[in-house]
Every structure is written in C-alpha cells, then in structure tokens.
C-alpha cells in the first residue's frame, strides 16, 4: 500500500473567543485512503476540516496539504483540493450546469475544458436530465449529487466532504457511498467528517474519533474494534432481580474478561465465545436465571466510541439536540 | 490578470442571472422608488409644496433629484444582502475554497450594484421626463448624475457588505437597514431644501453625504451648468472622503471575514 503522506496535521489548536474547538490535534492522512473524522456534533470535526481547506487559520500548530502549508500557501492548497460542504450550499436560482460553469471559471479552466468536464460530471452523478433546471427544483439527494460534482470539478487530488449524507434518504445515501467507493478506486484521497457510525465503518480506511476537540482514538475500524479486546455477549434476563447474582457468579471465571450489569441483563466481554458461552449458560442454569435473549457480537464502532468517550454516539447527539 | 477578469466576470454574471430568475422581485426593485416617491409623493405634494421654498417650477421636478439619490441610497445599503445569504447558506464558503482573489467577490458585487443602480436612475429620469421634467444640462448632465450616483453608491455598498459579514443573523442586518434608510432620507434635502427645514434638521442634514449629492444633482436637472458646477465640484470632494472612509473601514472587515 502507498503510504505517502497527503495531509499532515501537527499540534493543531483552534480557539474561538476563548472557547477551544480543537486542542493539540496531530494526525496524518495517507495518499489514496478514505480518512474519517468521526464524532458528535460540536466535537471539532468541522473545525478541523475547515482548517485543512484553508477556511480557518489555526490558533497554533500547523496543517499541510500535499506538503503545502494551509496558511502560507493557501492558494496552492486551494488548487489541489475539492470541497463538498454540508447541504444547502447551493444557489437555488442557478441551474446545476450554471453552478459547475461558475466554478469552472473560478478554477480558471479554459472554456472548452470546462464544458467537457461538466458534461462528464453531470453524467457521473446522473444529473444530465435536470442539469438545466434551477436548483430549487432539486430533491435533497440531487442537491447532494450536484455538491459532489462541484467538489470534483477541479479534478482534485484530495476531496473533502463535510457530513456527506446528513439528512439524506437511505437510497440517496447508498448512492453517495457508491460514488465515494468509486472515487477511492480511482485513487483519490478522501477526507470526510461524519456522525454516522455505519458510514465511518463502511467507507473509511482509517478514522479519528474526536470528542470535545481531542482525538480519542485513531486507526482502521477493524484495528479500533480489535483494540477493545474481546467480543461481547449480551444477556437479557427474564427476572432482573437476579442480575447481581449472575454478575457475581461470572466475574473471575477463566473466559470472562469483564462483566458488567446493564438495566436489563449483562454485558460480558469474552476472549473466545467457544469457551465462554457454555460457561455462561451453565452458570445461568445453575442459578436458575432464565434467559430471555442472548446476543453475541463483535465490537461495533459504537462500542469503540463508548469505550473512548464514556458515552454512546447517539446519546451525545441527543445531548446536543436537547441541550 | 486574465484569471482575475474571468473570476469577476463569472461572479458578476451570477448576480445578473439570479436577478433575471427573480422577475417579480426585479420588477418591484425597479418600480418601487418611482412609484412610491416620484409618482405618489410627487403628485401628492404638488400643490401642498410651496414653490417659494422649493425654488422649482413644480414639486415633481424638485423631487426628481431626491428620488435619484434615494435610489442610490437604498440600492447601496441593500447591496450586501445577497452576500449575507451566501454567507448563511455556505455558498460563500464554497467560493472561498476556490483559488480566487478574495477581492473578486467584492468587486463583482460593486459592479453589479452600480450597474443596476445606474439603470434605475435612467428609468427614474425617464419617468420624470414623462411628467415634464427635462434635465437642464442634457446628456452630459445625465452622465454627471450617474457619476455622482456611483461615487455615493460605492461607499454605501461597502458599508452594506461589511455589515453583511459582521452581523450575527440576517434579522440584525434588516433591522439596521430599516433604521438607517428613512432617517437618512428625512435628514437630507431629498424632500425639502435645507433652507425650508427646521433649523436643527437643516443642521443635521448638512452632515449627511446624501444632501451633498442631492444638492449637486438638483441644479443639473433644474437650472444648468453655471449653477451646478460648484456643487458638482464640492460633491466630488465630499464623496471621495466618504468613500475613502467606507472602503478603509470595510476592507478591514473583509480581510477578517475572508482571510
């Protein structure tokens, strides 16, 4: 695998009016990979992304894109990247084609070259038919496709996407994922933010889990999950008063790494399910704990998130929304 | 340089396209000043206004200069609105990630607002002509009126754009706009000459750059070059100072907002 460094972030800190959005962030993005910034709203993902695309100046620390500093050589960086902002960054009165033509001029493409690329991109994102209708007539999914076409127009070395599928229906979402896989297959480096765990899991080669402006974990989804150590067996008991008894019985048994009570049963982290499951069932039987449901799964990204931040991704999203 | 021009041209054409897609709003923008002020207000006060005070053959011909400069004022103050929306919906951010000169966005806006304003001024002069107002200084006078309008408009548009970049929400923007516009008109010589105002209002109106613009445009329409030239000379000086102040202040805001 090509391990050339595409993006280097070192000790990046950004504060807004005394509030620290990101604090001492350091990471690399390799050429040709899909790199994800995963975290709840307000975690600092967008601040990081916006620094990389030259929209924000770091308070301290540096970021460089393909060897060019995002502050001192902002103009060079802008030539090399494409950006897909969150939805609505669209002029409702312009047609899809006019969006692309405008950007073509802003990237200083010669007219013939622009026309050729625009035709290719409209075909790629399946917007040929509505290309000459004002964007206000587009659905959410179509706007997103137009956004992506806009991001690809400069033929960028690195594509940045901010929450690429936020608020989209399932079908459009899968379509966007297809495009991203295809771009990756063509060798494009992609950096994206997301607060969807499944999206990060499906698309990213490596990801950084960011919470409260700090990187909590960094690695490939598989590495992060393995890093947690052990698969998880979840039990739901019929009689919840028996939970403490069973916890006591299982704690310390050879195959169990960690036993934790939950509101409806137990979560047990195990080394190998082959050894652990019979032992669990045997104990449950002996103590007359009738099981309502038993679930076994490999750690999911949500478990990784909980392990590193102490709360679940969905909880923190709710925190933001209600608080 | 060719690249710079390509950017400015593309961005300016975007404003033109937007306007042409909003036909209804375009119609109102064009019609409003002449309908409200020139036709309604002008005719309403035709007999109520004292010819001794206005020193003009009739009120409409007196008012024409005021309506011309009012149009410049309103267009200028509203000149930043589209940038405000671009800022709020992220389009500006998209533009800022492209390798353009940061000033292209601002310049395209100046060009657009100045062009639309000039067209509107011509329409107003045309409507006034239908009511019997013939500019005393002819075509050259009209060109001079357009120049004065642009000089005033540049400063106003700069203020408006700076405001668009600084406000927290577009509610704030429109509140300030509404608060600025009418007092600027009442505390100027648009509706009543300085000599006809209560002393304190006349005093305040003297500090309003709009008064200087109107007092130069009015003799260009009503009397002739001999009367107008000293005022035109004066307004150029006033406007150069006004624009310098506005551009200096807003350039700081632009630099902070766009990096």
Residue B153 contacts residue B243 (beta carbons within 8 Å): no
pLDDT score for B246 = 96
Mean pLDDT for the stretch of residues A16-25: 90
Q: Which residues contact B155 (CB under 8 A, 6 or more apart)?
A: B76, B209, B239, B242, B243, B245, B246, B247
Domain boundaries, chain A: 5-225, 230-298
- The two structure tokens encoding residue B118: 């000039």
- CATH of span A230-298: 3.30.70.920
Q: CA-nearest residue of chain B to A100?
A: B10
pLDDT band at A45 (very low <50, low <70, confident <90, very high): very high
Please provide residue A205's backbone torsions phi and psi, each rounded to the nearest 5 degrees.
Answer: -75, -40
pLDDT band at A320 (very low <50, low <70, confident <90, very high): very low
Which class is domain A5-225?
A: alpha beta
pLDDT score for A227 = 78
pLDDT of A55-102, one tens digit each? 999 999 999 999 999 999 999 999 999 999 986 789 999 999 999 999
Q: Under DSSP, is residue A235 helix (H, G, I), strand (E, B) or coil?
A: strand
pLDDT band at B194 (very low <50, low <70, confident <90, very high): confident
DSSP A91: -
Q: Which residues contact B194 (CB under 8 A, 6 or more apart)?
A: B202, B205, B206, B211, B215
Residue A1 contacts residue A52 (beta carbons within 8 Å): no
User: B75: closest CA among B17, B134, B15, B135?
Assistant: B15
User: Which of A306-310, B17-21, B148-152 ranks highest by mean pLDDT?
Assistant: B148-152
Residues B5/B11/B12/B17 CA torsion (nearest 10 deg)? 140
As a whole number of angstroms, the distance between CA B103 and CA A54 comes to 16
Q: Which residue has the tokens 């000790």?
A: A11
Interface of A with B (CB under 8 A): 50, 53-55, 57, 74-75, 78-79, 81, 83, 85-86, 88-91, 93-94, 98, 101-103, 105-108, 134, 150, 154
Between B133 and B27, name the one with better pLDDT.
B133
Q: B26: distance to nearest CA of chain A, Å?
A: 13
pLDDT band at A322 (very low <50, low <70, confident <90, very high): very low
Would the CATH topology of A5-225 be identical to that of A230-298?
no
pLDDT score for A319 = 47
As a whole number of angstroms, the distance between CA A214 and CA A225 comes to 19
pLDDT band at B75 (very low <50, low <70, confident <90, very high): very high
User: A230: closest CA among A202, A190, A206, A257?
Assistant: A257
B100/A contact by beta carbon, under 8 A = yes
Q: CA-nearest residue of chain A to B104?
A: A106
Burial of A247 (0-12, 13-18, 19+ CB in 10 A): middle
Burial of A105 (0-12, 13-18, 19+ CB in 10 A): buried
Residue A187 contacts residue A4 (beta carbons within 8 Å): no
CB contact under 8 A, A134 and B21: yes
pLDDT score for A321 = 42
- The two structure tokens encoding residue A108: 């200083």
Residue B174: Cβ within 10 Å count: 14
pLDDT of A158-170, one tens digit each? 999 999 988 888 8
Q: Which of A99-108, A252-261, B63-72 has the lowest mean pLDDT?
A: A252-261
Q: With 90 as the cut, is the pLDDT of residue A284 above it?
A: no
Q: Which of A134-138, A165-169, A177-181, B158-162 has the lowest mean pLDDT?
A: A165-169
CB contact under 8 A, A107 and B98: yes
Mean pLDDT for the stretch of residues A262-283: 83
Best of B6, B83, B98, B108 to disrupt the A interface by mutation (most A CBs within 10 Å)? Answer: B98
B10/A contact by beta carbon, under 8 A = yes
Q: What residues does A258 pair with on adjacent strands?
A: A269
As a whole number of angstroms, the distance between CA B172 and CA B163 comes to 9
pLDDT score for B259 = 63
Query: DSSP of B42-68, one letter per residue?
Result: HHHTTTTS-HHHH-SSSHHHHHHHHHH
As a whole number of angstroms, the distance between CA A93 and CA A275 comes to 64
How distant is the alpha carbon of residue A15 from its chain centre?
23
Mean pLDDT for the stretch of residues A284-292: 86
pLDDT of B100-128, one tens digit each? 999 999 999 999 999 999 999 999 999 99
As a whole number of angstroms, the distance between CA B11 and CA B14 comes to 5
Mean per-residue pLDDT over chain A, rounded:
88
As a whole number of angstroms, the distance between CA B97 and CA A296 comes to 47
User: B62: closest CA among B206, B234, B237, B219?
Assistant: B219
Q: A164: distance to nearest CA of chain B, Å?
A: 14
As a whole number of angstroms, the distance between CA A77 and CA A220 comes to 26
pLDDT of A211-246, one tens digit each? 999 999 999 988 888 777 778 888 888 888 888 888
pLDDT of B122-133, one tens digit each? 999 999 999 888
Q: CA-nearest residue of chain A to B7?
A: A106
Between B161 and A301, name the one with better pLDDT.
B161
DSSP A270: E
């Amino acid at each position: 695998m090509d391990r050339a460094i595409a993006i280097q972030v070192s000790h990046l800190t950004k504060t807004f009016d005394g509030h620290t959005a990101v604090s001492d962030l350091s990471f690399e993005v390799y050429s040709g990979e899909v790199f994800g910034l995963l975290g709840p709203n307000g975690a600092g993902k967008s601040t990081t992304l916006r620094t990389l695309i030259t929209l924000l100046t770091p308070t301290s620390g540096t970021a460089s894109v393909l060897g060019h500093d995002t502050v001192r050589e902002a103009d060079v960086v802008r030539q090399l990247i494409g950006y897909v902002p969150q939805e609505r960054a669209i002029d409702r009165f312009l047609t899809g084609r006019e969006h692309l033509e405008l950007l073509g001029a802003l990237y200083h493409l010669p007219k013939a070259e622009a026309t050729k690329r625009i035709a290719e991109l409209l075909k790629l994102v399946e917007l040929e038919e509505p290309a000459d209708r004002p964007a206000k007539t587009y659905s959410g999914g179509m706007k997103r496709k137009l956004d992506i076409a806009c991001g690809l127009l400069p033929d960028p070395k690195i594509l940045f996407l901010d929450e690429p599928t936020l608020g989209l229906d399932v079908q459009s979402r899968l379509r966007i994922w297809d495009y991203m896989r295809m771009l990756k297959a063509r060798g494009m480096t992609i950096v994206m933010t997301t607060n969807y765990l499944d999206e990060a899991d499906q698309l990213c080669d490596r990801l950084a889990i960011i919470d409260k402006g700090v990187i909590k974990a960094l690695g490939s989804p598989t590495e992060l999950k393995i890093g947690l150590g052990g698969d998880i067996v979840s039990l739901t008991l019929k009689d919840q008063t028996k939970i403490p008894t069973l916890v006591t019985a299982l704690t310390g048994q050879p195959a169990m790494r960690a036993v934790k009570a939950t509101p409806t049963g137990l979560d047990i982290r195990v080394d190998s399910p082959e050894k652990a499951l019979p032992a669990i069932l045997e104990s449950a039987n002996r103590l007359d704990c009738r099981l309502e449901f038993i679930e076994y799964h490999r750690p999911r990204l949500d478990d990784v998130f909980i392990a590193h931040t102490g709360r679940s991704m969905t909880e923190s999203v709710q925190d933001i929304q209600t608080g | 340089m060719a690249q710079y021009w390509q950017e400015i041209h593309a961005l300016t054409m975007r404003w033109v396209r937007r306007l042409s897609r909003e036909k209804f709003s375009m119609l109102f923008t064009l019609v409003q000043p002449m309908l409200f002020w020139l036709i309604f207000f002008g005719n309403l006060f035709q007999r109520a206004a004292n010819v001794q005070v206005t020193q003009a053959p009739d009120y409409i011909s007196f008012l024409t200069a005021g309506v011309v400069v009012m149009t410049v004022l309103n267009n200028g103050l509203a000149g930043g609105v589209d940038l405000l929306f671009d800022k709020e919906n992220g389009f500006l951010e998209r533009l800022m990630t492209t390798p353009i000169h940061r000033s292209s966005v601002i310049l395209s806006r100046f060009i657009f607002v100045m062009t639309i304003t000039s067209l509107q001024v011509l329409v107003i002069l045309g409507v006034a002509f239908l009511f019997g107002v013939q500019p005393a200084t002819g075509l050259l006078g009209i060109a001079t009126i357009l120049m004065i309008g642009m000089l005033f408009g540049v400063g106003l548009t700069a203020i408006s754009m700076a405001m668009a970049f600084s406000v927290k929400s577009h509610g704030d923007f429109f509140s300030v706009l509404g608060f600025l516009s009418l007092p600027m008109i009442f505390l100027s010589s648009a509706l009543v000459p300085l000599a006809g105002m209560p002393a304190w209002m006349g005093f305040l109106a003297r500090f309003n750059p709009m008064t200087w613009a109107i007092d130069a445009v009015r003799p260009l329409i009503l009397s002739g070059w001999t009367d107008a030239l000293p005022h035109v000379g004066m307004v150029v000086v006033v406007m150069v100072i006004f624009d310098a102040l506005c551009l200096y202040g807003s350039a700081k805001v632009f630099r902070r907002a766009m990096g």
